[in-house]
Chain A
Amino acid sequence: MADRGDFDAFVTSRYAALARTAMLLTGARASGEDLLQEALIRTYVAWPKVRELAAGEAYVRTTMVRLLIRDRKRRWSGEVPHGDLPEQAHGPDHRGDPRGDPATRVTVRDALRDLPIEQRAVLVLRFYADLTESQIAEALDCAPGTVKSRISRGLAALRAGGLALGDPVTDDTTAITTTAEARP
């Protein structure tokens, strides 16, 4: 068996970040961890073939998205348990909450839930994982134009669902694109 020693370090260092991405992709912590762990198991098996260690995270992320699209049974539907009761969103003042307004979290989470998996995936990869459109296209094995159209349709669907998106996100992705592409 090929050496998989550095796989341990990879998982230890990147698990939390990947789990948060998985949680956004699936809409719930439990199903997100299910998805991530299946992706990590596949990555473990394929580890000797991953020629660049830096590609490990991209490999896991790609695997998660493809598994998610493959298994549409994991679609965000039905009851989703979460710790923040919606009623809390109507509290008097959340300006001191470092997590931001609970109403916004619930609204975004609910709106994201209704999106098709492909649109949800590109929005999460684009606006949470900070991937460029070309990186998303590589992960999904599709054309960059397809990624752009999915982002556009996803944002439009969020707006149509009543979510008021700020200008930097809705109309101008240049700033985020520049930041993401500037990463090493």
Chain B
Amino acid sequence: MTDLKQAFDEIVADENFDAPLAAVVGAGQKRLRRRTWLRSGGAAGSALAVAGLAIGAGAFRASPVAPAPAFASDTDAASAPQCVRDALAEANGLIQKGFHEAVVVDISGAPTADLTFGMTAGHGWTDAKAVAVIPGPPGDAPTGTFRLWEGVTPDANPQPGRYLMLLFLDNSPKAPGGSYDGPVWGFTQAPIFPVTGDNISVTCADGTQAQVPWTDAATTWLAPAAPVPTRGHYPPGAAATESPRS
């Protein structure tokens, strides 16, 4: 006879783990910076954002403001400039490996609502509207009007408009004896692609810009076989590596 609890204990009894604190914190800070940098790049960033250009530590950034049309052209993802393909691959990596959902979202205004979800609280939108969900790996996706946490800093939030955003479902435990008031979604602040009609706008750091269709994204640049970033999910030296079976 087997005691299941004892068996579980025995399976992991010999396993010792060292917390990769620096790697976790480093990756967390990087994720925060990515969220923050989109709309809070300081004076230079603001000026460039108005021009519809992209700045940041990375090679690209999708601008949340109306893009300047100087270099815009309709193109398919495969023939887009390299920096645009990098941006699309970044988004696809979040879909294929990062548990995100690609959703075309209408943002109506500033995120003024007080949101509470389980043990978390903050500000955001109660009226974010899911216009379309790009089919992807199995998972939850928002429908209709949904609740959306604001960005890390208030000035990092999208202006009213329509965007293709990478969303993830918040994972907050309930408070003891409490209840949920519906799920709240979060968004990755880079990349965010402004949407005009059937196209998204992608703007690179050097000003290169392209209009790429989003309506067929599930079978093109957000397809499972489409490119994803080749770099690892964690900084060099981190304990975590891609599982050979994943």
Is A51 a contact of B4 with CB atoms below 8 Å? no
Interface size range on A against B: 35 or more
Is A165 a contact of B1 with CB atoms below 8 Å? yes
Give the contacting residue for B138; candidates A4, A38, A51, A72; CB below 8 A. Answer: A72
Bound Cα distance A17, B119 (Å): 22
Is B171 a contact of A59 with CB atoms below 8 Å? yes
Give the contacting residue for A8; candidates B4, B5, B21, B119; CB below 8 A. Answer: B21
The interface-forming segment of B69-77, B78-86, B208-216, B231-239 is B231-239
Is A30 a contact of B173 with CB atoms below 8 Å? no
Q: Which residues of B contact A50 (CB under 8 A)?
A: 119-120, 172
Interface size range on B against A: 35 or more
Bound Cα distance A74, B14 (Å): 23
Q: Is B146 in the interface zone, CB < 8 Å from A?
A: no
Q: Is B43 in the interface zone, CB < 8 Å from A?
A: no
Is A108 a contact of B234 with CB atoms below 8 Å? no
Q: Which residues of A contact B6 (CB under 8 A)?
A: 100
Is A70 a contact of B99 with CB atoms below 8 Å? yes
List B residues 102-152 near A (Cβ within 8 Å): 119-122, 137-140, 152
Bound Cα distance A29, B239 (Å): 11
Smallest CB-CB separation from A158: which chain B residue? Answer: B4
Contacts A20-B15, A99-B13, A138-B174 given; indicate if A46 touches B3 (C-beta within 8 A): no
The interface-forming segment of B24-32, B47-55, B157-165, B199-207 is B24-32
Is A23 a contact of B12 with CB atoms below 8 Å? yes
Q: Is A19 in the interface zone, CB < 8 Å from B?
A: yes
Is A99 a contact of B2 with CB atoms below 8 Å? no
- Minimal beta-carbon separation of A105 from chain B (angstroms): 5
Is B121 a contact of A164 with CB atoms below 8 Å? no
Q: Which residues of B contact A29 (CB under 8 A)?
A: 15
- Minimal beta-carbon separation of B159 from chain A (angstroms): 23
Q: Which residues of B contact A139 (CB under 8 A)?
A: 173
Q: Which residues of B contact A92 (CB under 8 A)?
A: none
Is A59 a contact of B172 with CB atoms below 8 Å? yes
Bound Cα distance A83, B13 (Å): 13
Bound Cα distance A38, B28 (Å): 9
Is A141 a contact of B245 with CB atoms below 8 Å? no
Is A41 a contact of B27 with CB atoms below 8 Å? yes
Bound Cα distance A141, B15 (Å): 30
Contacts A44-B25, A66-B171 given; indicate if A51 touches B119 (C-beta within 8 A): yes
Would you list 13 pairs from A and B whose C-beta atoms are within 8 A, ordered by A residue? A40-B28, A45-B28, A46-B172, A49-B119, A59-B172, A66-B171, A67-B171, A72-B138, A98-B13, A99-B10, A99-B13, A108-B7, A141-B180
> Which A residues form the contact surface with B (CB < 8 A)?
1, 4, 7-8, 11-12, 15-16, 19-20, 23-24, 28-31, 33-34, 37-42, 44-46, 49-52, 55, 58-59, 62-63, 66-67, 70-74, 77-80, 83, 98-100, 104-105, 107-109, 123-124, 127-128, 130, 138-139, 141, 155, 158, 163-169, 176
